[in-house]
Structure 1
């Protein structure tokens, strides 16, 4: 630590006027205290400090303490620390102030260091010392501090107890956080918010919501905790509903609010809501910094408007690697693989070092276009050129790339030769490739391995059932269904959503719950007439039930994405784009039907399925039928 004096300069700046009369009189302590408290800039503080030095008041305990704390509050912790080291007879307030200054800036190790020095100097902490230390403190040192608060009798203090709840909540120790919270006689807004955040982090949204609804006063931090909780736990509709309630309650959103709400819009594919939120951000002068800009790019990409995403991306100042990644991911998920690779080269050219997320995006882009040689090059360059060890996600991208291209043996050998243990998702990717290319033997081998290791999930069984159904092996399909029933495994139902007039409408296969169900099915019948007139033959081979041909056709006609498209056709202006979000991979028949609908109606249809975006225009799809 430097010992160079910071304040004994030969020519200090001119002092502030200290009274309304003559300035040669000695300023009073009260006047100087007032000036320190009102100072909002480093120049003002330096001028007051110069006056203290000139009048020999730089060791006055109150003024010294006030000045030290003021330097810290305006972000000049270095000045505060230099003054602290020159202070005589440092009591608990001086030590607590310097601990607080470091803790406020997330400098946990330094805050703990000064706390330890405080104890070495035989200065006993008080409750303010602990409440300062516990701010953003990691859980392990937090546990040690908890023990000390008990020993010194500060654990019952409301601020200390709130700090401890926050430490355990952020550290993921739900049991300890709840025990402390339940024994608090009075629960503050901060402790309630900490507990809501903790419940949300663990997916206990019902408990979080119960606390939230019982609160009399809610600030923006509390609203952010519950909105982000729903967004992060896959309940974006509820997150956006809460955001609207927050606005109705006249609580002004901040950056954290809009980040969570943009995430929810992206999950839903709710472009209209996302555009409204973008306008709200601009109209309410919320700074579109790199974090908000990146969230907007991500939202627009996921909502199917890559053009809007690129416009935002181009306007982001001081782009970091996360911002570049968001745009590369956007191009990859829309199947614009060459654009993704071109943007990667631009990113490297301006001096950014790629991250592991960058390579997930690049390998995904290669997978969507079947770029095998480019994929291998990126995969090997991760470690060789950039020192990034491939993770399970990178192996998954490579298996997907190889498997979709029909290189099943190569993909299988890659999985078997991995240094890390392959997870069920990786095996499922390979199993999906086996189904795509009709490799029943390898598919059965993988499925049996997963079932035997108790790693099979609903996707495993569905893929194996698909493989059997494709070859007409209904006995095998029945056996898989029996295994699913015995294991309590339920297939994830197909669900498609469409946003119309800022409202998201969801459909399941064969759904008749919608208020406009009658009109939707009338439109569906009209669509079927169009398809027959254009010679469409339903792909009944993908139906996983041993039914007659007509029953199979009827089963295909009411898939969720077809219901969503039918609703879109009757609810939007002719010629406007229809955007659909599907939670599963779009099936072969729905893909073929959507191409034909785009040709017959002259509508562009954008569909986001589990794997990627499909842009259907005039009978063609952007995926080139390779998905």
Structure 2
């Protein structure tokens, strides 16, 4: 009776991963002299394996005088589930007994984790020989393994050979197709599953909705979303999260907000997805409100932010250039966390840099216990955007000394730094060293930095030569950049050539006409200005009004050219007039002093 009771209690501890209670029961087993019992020993192995205490589980396993198939299965499945696939395979190789379906499933799963196709195929042959290949647990594991190893034909062959595939079999194949972005094949199996009378579950919908992330596939995703509403799955966190992600990727914030509100028991992933969606869709304040609620003592979600949440909230603050919000998040981290993840450190540096506080960014960078390539790239970009080219080059030198190899992002930061500081020769040397020294092919962002750098210094003919010699000579952004530089230096000759090319590439946008008009105006060619404006008017294209953001008392305010609908517009106009009058007064006093 006591033996059965202890076994039942140990099983419950294993299921709930109640480690401390399990240790107490283990002590009782030893005290009562039942530690040599095979059944109790198996329960203890399973308990310690589930709680990831493999030293204890292996110790019990090694001291067992007799081991049965359950003993081996507990150890092998424990290693597989804990992310130790190599240990699972090593133990399987030493097993003197014939495996059962659970052991086959575990070792095949271990092969899938390691992408060990050769070993997986051998175990497949072993299971086939022993007649286990038609058991659903084994066949499903085999399909998953072949899909992960990019052997879809083998997975389909196994699926086709199953006389009565269950919902798990269909889900394995649907998930495999989804992970490899084969939506049409996944949908085909999904429809077949319905025809066979099997009800799709949350795993089926999660896989398919998860890849409906482009505008082309959105109609399919909306159809699947409707089905989840009928089945009541849209309110579950598992399916709700992928619905959030789908609408977020397609930029449909209203749908994102509706889906977020409908999820009943939100988890951290739900909140993280929503914050990222807010950032992507320009609804930064709403994203910060969710983070603020999560950090409150009594919050609506009963959740605490993780590293991804914090990094996302810091990224939102950086987008808003909100020192107020970003500083509050940093202060909260100082108060509540002793150790910070490296990704959070990088997000803090980026936030301070975007808020114009390069000194704070440097201070955080120097305090970091460990740094990665992203840390160095973020710091180089921070110095570069503020025109501190010497500091950026010093960080680059320090990065190489620490053994980090520069990547494409590193050179964007360095070229930006040289451009802002006017270090043209140094910038050209860095650009030319990309391919020669580092084996990095310059991309459009590098060429754009180079053209900006040459354009700022007035070397416009040289900039034009670089554009024409590059693989991006048909890119409108590059030519627009060159045309802007021509207006700055009043170089009409190069500017007209750039404008002609830009009009070829972008006949339906206003920017080429506006830039050309401004170029002629800078040279006093008013007839040509009128002609450029007339050409713009004839095309019927309207110029998008410019806008800017400013933070007032922690709230981001947007101001658009020609828009007088702001609630405090009268107060704003009075203040602007006052500033204008003060500026004129200071100018006049300086003139006569």
TM-score by length of 2: 0.77
1:22 aligned residue (18, 29, 33): 33
* Aligned position for 1:82: 90
CA distance in 1, matches of 2:110, 2:507: 49
* Aligned position for 2:232: 186
Deviates more, 1:104-113 or 1:423-432: 104-113
CA distance in 2, matches of 1:166, 1:54: 52
Matches within 5 A, 1:498-513: 498-509=550-561, 512-513=564-565
* Aligned position for 2:495: 443
Displacement after TM superposition at 1:324 (Å): 0.2
* Aligned position for 1:622: none
CA distance in 2, matches of 1:292, 1:455: 44
Contact 1:99 1:129 in 2 (8 A): no
Post-superposition CA distance 1:495-516 (Å, at most 9, x none): 3333233222333346654454
* Aligned position for 1:54: 65
* Aligned position for 2:425: 373
2:259 aligned residue (204, 211, 223): 211
**In the superposition, relative to structure 1, how do residues 135 and 97 fare at CA in structure 2: closer, same or farther (>3 Å)?**
farther
* Aligned position for 2:13: none
**In the superposition, relative to structure 1, how do residues 267 and 232 fare at CA in structure 2: closer, same or farther (>3 Å)?**
same
- Establish whether residue 358 from structure 1 lines up as the match of residue 394 from structure 2: no
* Aligned position for 1:161: 204
CA distance in 2, matches of 1:142, 1:407: 50
Deviates more, 1:142-151 or 1:18-27: 142-151
**In the superposition, relative to structure 1, how do residues 64 and 503 fare at CA in structure 2: closer, same or farther (>3 Å)?**
same
CA distance in 2, matches of 1:344, 1:322: 12
Displacement after TM superposition at 1:441 (Å): 3.1
- Establish whether residue 31 from structure 1 lines up as the match of residue 43 from structure 2: yes
* Aligned position for 1:531: 583
Contact 1:130 1:145 in 2 (8 A): no
* Aligned position for 1:308: 360
* Aligned position for 1:42: 54
2:285 aligned residue (237, 248, 254): 237
Deviates more, 1:430-439 or 1:452-461: 452-461
**In the superposition, relative to structure 1, how do residues 380 and 240 fare at CA in structure 2: closer, same or farther (>3 Å)?**
same
Contact 2:178 2:208 in 1 (8 A): no
Which structure has more relative contact order (CA 8 Å, sep 6+)? It is 1
Contact 1:366 1:372 in 2 (8 A): yes
* Aligned position for 1:196: 244
Post-superposition CA distance 1:96-116 (Å, at most 9, x none): 545666778999977634995
CA distance in 1, matches of 2:148, 2:197: 18
Post-superposition CA distance 1:408-449 (Å, at most 9, x none): 111111111113444111111101111111122332332232
What are the ranges of 5 or more consecutive residues in structure 2 without an aligned counterpart? 1-25, 117-143
CA distance in 2, matches of 1:289, 1:484: 52
Displacement after TM superposition at 1:286 (Å): 8.1
* Aligned position for 1:290: 342
2:300 aligned residue (227, 249, 257): 249
* Aligned position for 1:174: 218
Query: Does the residue aligned with 1:507 lie in a helix, a strand or coil?
Result: strand
* Aligned position for 2:136: none
TM-score by length of 1: 0.73
**In the superposition, relative to structure 1, how do residues 109 and 103 fare at CA in structure 2: closer, same or farther (>3 Å)?**
closer
Query: Does the residue aligned with 2:38 lie in a helix, a strand or coil?
Result: coil
Query: Does the residue aligned with 1:252 lie in a helix, a strand or coil?
Result: coil
Aligned residue pairs total 519
Whichever structure has more helix as a proportion of its residues is 2
**In the superposition, relative to structure 1, how do residues 154 and 232 fare at CA in structure 2: closer, same or farther (>3 Å)?**
farther
- Establish whether residue 323 from structure 1 lines up as the match of residue 364 from structure 2: no
Contact 1:298 1:326 in 2 (8 A): yes
Displacement after TM superposition at 1:277 (Å): 1.0
What are the ranges of 5 or more consecutive residues in structure 1 without an aligned counterpart? 1-15, 538-595, 597-627
CA distance in 2, matches of 1:32, 1:260: 42
**In the superposition, relative to structure 1, how do residues 527 and 150 fare at CA in structure 2: closer, same or farther (>3 Å)?**
closer
Query: Does the residue aligned with 1:441 lie in a helix, a strand or coil?
Result: helix
CA distance in 2, matches of 1:262, 1:98: 42
**In the superposition, relative to structure 1, how do residues 372 and 487 fare at CA in structure 2: closer, same or farther (>3 Å)?**
same
Contact 2:77 2:106 in 1 (8 A): yes
CA distance in 2, matches of 1:509, 1:249: 39
Contact 1:309 1:327 in 2 (8 A): yes
- Establish whether residue 112 from structure 1 lines up as the match of residue 148 from structure 2: yes
Contact 1:408 1:434 in 2 (8 A): yes
Matches within 5 A, 1:211-610: 211-246=259-294, 248-250=299-301, 251-285=303-337, 287-454=339-506, 457-485=509-537, 487=539, 489-509=541-561, 512-535=564-587
Contact 2:513 2:532 in 1 (8 A): yes
Query: Does the residue aligned with 2:211 lie in a helix, a strand or coil?
Result: helix
CA distance in 1, matches of 2:509, 2:528: 17
Displacement after TM superposition at 1:146 (Å): 5.9
Displacement after TM superposition at 1:240 (Å): 2.2
**In the superposition, relative to structure 1, how do residues 36 and 532 fare at CA in structure 2: closer, same or farther (>3 Å)?**
closer
CA distance in 2, matches of 1:176, 1:424: 34
Displacement after TM superposition at 1:216 (Å): 3.0
CA distance in 2, matches of 1:235, 1:315: 32
CA distance in 2, matches of 1:525, 1:274: 32
Query: Does the residue aligned with 2:370 lie in a helix, a strand or coil?
Result: coil
**In the superposition, relative to structure 1, how do residues 102 and 277 fare at CA in structure 2: closer, same or farther (>3 Å)?**
farther
Displacement after TM superposition at 1:21 (Å): 0.7
